[in-house]
Amino acid sequence: MYRNLLFLPVMFVAVAAFFSCQEDRDVLKTKEIYVTSEAGDKVAPRPNISFVKGTASNGNIITIHPSAVRQEIYGIGSSFTEASAFVLAHLDKEKRAEVMENIFSDKGANFSLARTHIGSCDFTVEGKYSYLDKKGDTGLLSFSIEPDKRGFDPQQYPGIQDPSYDLLPMIQEAIEIKNRQKDNDLRIIASAWTAPPWMKDIEDWYMKGTPENNFQGTGGTLKPEYEETYADYLIRYLEEYKSEGVDIWGITPVNEPHGNDGNWESMHFTPESQNQFIKTYLGPKLVDGRFENVKLLIYDQNRDHLEEWADVILGDEETAQYVYGTAVHWYSSTYKVYEDVFEKVNAKFPHQALIHTEGCIDNLGNEAPDGILDPEGYKEEGWFDNDSFWWNENATDWAYSATWDGVDSEKHPMYSPVHRYARDIIVGIDHWLRGWIDWNIVLDRRGGPNHVGNYCGAPIMIDLESNYIYYTPIYYILKQFSRTIRPGDRAVQTEKILDGLDNDALHACATINDSNLLTIQLLNTTKEPISLSLKIDDQYAFITMDPNSVQTVRIQL
C-alpha cells in the first residue's frame, strides 16, 4: 500500500510531463529559414525559431491563413535563347555543365519552368530566320529546325569552345539534368516572335519607322490566306521538337502581339484577330492532333492590357474551350505589379491560369544619360561583378526612360533590379499568378548578344574574354524562390498590417504543399531592419528581417 502511495507523485509528474510534451508538439517551429541580402547572404540558412500561443496585437503583422488555399503553382524559371546558348558555347564542356547544373539541378536553382522562342527573336545572334523561309511553301515541305541545332562556327566566332552547342542542345542538356534526379518536372512554354515574313502583309521580319510614317515601325500582320499555314507551322514545330525528345508544355500564338514599334522580329494581333485565329485554326488543330495536352496561352504581353484581351478571348466560350490561360510580361512599369488587374481577371475567369512569361532588366548595356550604365565603364561603376548595383536604384527602363519622349516617368522611375524581381514574384503569387519566368538565363557581360543592340540583364552574365562567370543577385533571388516554391504547391491567403511603414517596404506571399509544408516569402525593400510578427492561426513568432533582403520561412504544420 505504501509503495502505491509513494508512486502517486511520480505518476502525477509523468502525466504532467506527458501533457507538457503534447502542448510542446502543438507549438509551431520553423523548419528552415533562408536569407539573401545586400549584405552578402546568398540563400544562407538562419537559425530556426519557435512560435508562441497568443495574438500579435501591434506592430507589423503578417498573417497567413493555411486553410485558405488558392491557385496551384507551377514554379519559377528562366528562358532558353540562342543568345544564352551562344554564350555557353564559349565555355569548355565541364564549366558549361557546372553552369547548367546550377540552373536546373536540385543542387542549384532547380528551375521548373522555362520559355523558348520559335524561330528568331532579338536575342538571336544574327536574327532573321524561321523554320520555313521558302516563300509560298504552304505544304511545309522545306520546314526544318536546323537553325536551332547547327551550332556556331569558331572561325566566324573566335572563342567558341563547342561548335555543336546551340538552342536545342541547351534545352536537351537541361532535360538530361532533370531526368537524372527525382524532381524532374520542367515545363517549357514556346513563343514565336513572328511568322515567316512571306506570310505577313509587310513581307519582312519587321519594318522600322520612317519620316513618312512619323517613325511608326511595325511587325506586320498575317495575310488571311496564310492564317491556317501559320497554325500548321506552330504544330509542326511541336512535332519536330517532340522528335528530338523535347515535349513543349505550353505555346502562345505570338510574343507581344502589340508589337515593338518595328525594332526587331514581331507580328501583330488584335484581341479580336487572335481570338479568330485560335477559334478557327490553332485551337482545333491542337485538339485534333497529338497535342491536345499542350497548354494554349493567349496574349503574351504587358499587364496593363490584360483585362481587354481576357474579355475578348476568354469571354468567347467557343474560343475559351481551347485556351488554358493567359501569359503576361512586366514592362508596363518598373514597380507596379498590376495585382488589381490580376484580381479582376481571376474573378471573371477563375479556371484560367495566369503565368508571367517574360521579364528582364531592359537595355542594361546601352548608355544612360547620367553615365551609370555607360558600357565603357561598366566594370568600375556598373553591374558586372558588382552586387551593389543590383540591390539599389540604379536601373532604368530602356536605359533612358527619364528622357525618352512617350515614357511615363511615374510608371518607370529608376529602380532596384532585386526589388523589381522579388516584388513581382511575391505580389504576383499573392494575386493569382501560377508561375513566373525570367527572360535570358545567361548573357555576356554587356547583356547580349543581341542582333539589334537590345542589351539586357540576365541572372548569369559571362565575360567572353576571360570566361569569368558572374552569378548576379538576381540568380540567387530566383534560386531561393525556385527551391522553395515548387510545382504542385498551392498559394494561400495572406494579410499585411504595417505600423508606420510605406506599403512597399514589406511584401509577403505564402504557399503550401501536399505534406503541409508552409513556405512564406518576405521582402524588405528598406535599408533598415524590419521587425514583424508572423501570425498563423492562434500562434505567432517575432522575426527581424535584415535590411534590403529576401527571407524565406518554412514551417511544417
Mean pLDDT, all residues of the chain: 92
Q: How high is the pLDDT of residue 479? A: 98
170 pLDDT tier (thresholds 50, 70, 90) = very high
Q: How high is the pLDDT of residue 374? A: 46
Q: What single-letter amino acid sits at 231?
A: A
Q: Are residues 80 and 177 in the same domain?
A: yes
Each residue's pLDDT tens digit, 179-189: 999 878 899 99
406 pLDDT tier (thresholds 50, 70, 90) = low
Each residue's pLDDT tens digit, 537-556: 999 999 999 999 999 999 99
Q: Are residues 217 and 331 in the same domain?
A: yes
Of 487, 515, 532, the one marking the end of a domain is 487
Q: Which residues of 293-325 are buried (b: 16+ CB within 10 A; e: fewer)?
A: ebbbbbbbbbbebbbebbebbbebeebbebbbb
Which stretch of 20-24, 78-82, 155-159, 429-433 has the lowest confidence by average pLDDT? 20-24
**H/E segment holding residue 77:** strand 75-80
**H/E segment holding residue 52:** strand 52-53
Q: Which residues of 435-474 are buried (b: 16+ CB within 10 A; e: fewer)?
A: bbbbbbbbbbbbbbbbbbebbbbbbbbbbbeeeebbbbbb
382 pLDDT tier (thresholds 50, 70, 90) = confident
Q: Are residues 471 and 396 in the same domain?
A: yes
Q: Are residues 449 and 533 in the same domain?
A: no
Say which residues have a Cβ less than 8 Å from residue 5's Cβ, sequence separation at least 6.
none
**Cell (9 digits) for 152:** 556556331
Q: Are residues 129 and 183 in the same domain?
A: yes
Each residue's pLDDT tens digit, 23-47: 455 899 999 999 999 999 999 999 9
pLDDT at 502 > cutoff 70 = yes
- With cell 519620316, the residue in question is 211
**H/E segment holding residue 542:** strand 539-545
pLDDT at 19 > cutoff 60 = no
Q: Are residues 33 and 52 in the same domain?
A: yes
Each residue's pLDDT tens digit, 287-308: 987 899 999 999 999 999 999 9
Q: Are residues 208 and 275 in the same domain?
A: yes
Instruction: Read off the CATH number of the domain in which 23 is found.
Output: 2.60.40.1180
Rounded to whole angstroms, what are the CA distances from 311 to 168, 259, 295, 318, 489?
A: 36, 20, 19, 13, 28
State the average pLDDT over residues 350-374: 79
Q: How high is the pLDDT of residue 411? A: 87
Q: How high is the pLDDT of residue 216? A: 85
Say which residues have a Cβ less than 8 Å from residue 49's Cβ, sequence separation at least 6.
29, 30, 33, 541, 542, 543
17 pLDDT tier (thresholds 50, 70, 90) = very low
For 109, list phi and psi in degrees, rounded to 5: -75, -25
Half-sphere exposure of 531 (CA within 13 A, CB side): 4
Each residue's pLDDT tens digit, 438-495: 999 999 999 999 999 999 999 999 999 999 999 999 999 999 999 999 999 999 999 9
pLDDT at 365 > cutoff 90 = no
Q: Are residues 405 and 463 in the same domain?
A: yes
Q: How high is the pLDDT of residue 458? A: 98
State the average pLDDT over residues 417-443: 98
Q: How high is the pLDDT of residue 132? A: 98
Nearest to 111 by CA among 174, 67, 172: 174
d(CA 37, CA 122): 32
User: What is the percentage of the chain residues whose pLDDT exceeds 70?
Assistant: 91
Sheet holding 549-556, edge to edge: 44-45, 30-37, 549-556, 517-524, 506-512, 490-497, 61-72, 530-536, 539-545, 52-53
Q: State the total domains in the chain.
A: 2
408 pLDDT tier (thresholds 50, 70, 90) = confident
Of 487, 507, 524, the one marking the end of a domain is 487
Residue 177 near residue 102, CB atoms below 8 Å = no
Within 279-416, residue ranges assigned H as helices are 283-288, 306-313, 317-320, 339-348, 378-381, 387-391
Each residue's pLDDT tens digit, 117-167: 999 999 999 999 999 999 999 999 999 999 999 999 999 999 999 999 999
Each residue's pLDDT tens digit, 233-274: 999 999 999 999 999 999 999 999 999 999 999 999 999 999
6 pLDDT tier (thresholds 50, 70, 90) = very low
Q: Are residues 419 and 314 in the same domain?
A: yes
Between 411 and 214, the higher pLDDT residue = 411
Q: Are residues 496 and 455 in the same domain?
A: no
Q: How high is the pLDDT of residue 236? A: 98
Q: How high is the pLDDT of residue 167? A: 98
Which stretch of 78-82, 349-353, 379-383 has the lowest confidence by average pLDDT? 379-383
Q: Are residues 373 and 445 in the same domain?
A: yes
Q: How high is the pLDDT of residue 381? A: 60
For 72, list phi and psi in degrees, rounded to 5: -70, 145
Q: How high is the pLDDT of residue 376? A: 47
Residue 258 near residue 305, CB atoms below 8 Å = yes
State the average pLDDT over residues 352-379: 72
Residue 513 near residue 528, CB atoms below 8 Å = no
Q: How high is the pLDDT of residue 20? A: 41
531 pLDDT tier (thresholds 50, 70, 90) = very high
The domain of 34 spans 2-70+491-556
Of 456, 487, 518, the one marking the end of a domain is 487
Instruction: Read off the CATH number of the domain in which 129 is found.
Output: 3.20.20.80
Q: Kindly report the number of other CB atoms within 10 A of residue 49's CB atom.
A: 15
Q: Are residues 273 and 310 in the same domain?
A: yes
